[in-house]
Amino acid sequence: MKKRIQFYLIVVFVIVMFDAVASAVSRTLIFDYTKMAWFSYMLYVAAGYLGCKSFDIAGGILAGLIAGLADSTIGWLLSSVIGPFIPFAQPRYTPLLISVVIITVSIGGALLGLVGALLFKIINKGSPSS
């Protein structure tokens, strides 16, 4: 259980650090922060892949879910504080909007975690350790 908790904390750390660095780079270089979403999606897939490799398919899905949850909560808050460059007006952050974003991004993270877990299973299909 301790190994799982450590793994999921590392997932949270990586996502939050990505948000912080991406926000700072975006702000400094006047680069559209929203274009970095694809990298976040790749991190969700990687979390799922590594979660499945380390544990099982459910571990991969949970890793993606945790990545999405961290991204849509702590990561979003940190990014908002840093103030990345976004070339269009942002909507007013209401409790409903925040809730919808957290739920949507978390579910999307879980789905991308599943993709990563399935990729691990496909790549390692013939391997005796799978």
Q: What is the pLDDT of residues 71-89, one digit of tens each?
A: 999 999 999 999 999 988 8
Looking at the chain, list the stretches that DSSP marks H as alpha helix, in order from N- to C-terminal side: 2-29, 37-54, 57-70, 76-82, 95-123
Task: Give whole-number Cα distances, 115 to 46, 53, 65, 70, in Å.
Answer: 9, 13, 12, 18
DSSP 56: -
Q: What is the pLDDT of residues 29-46, one digit of tens each?
A: 999 999 999 999 999 999
* pTM for this entry: 0.92
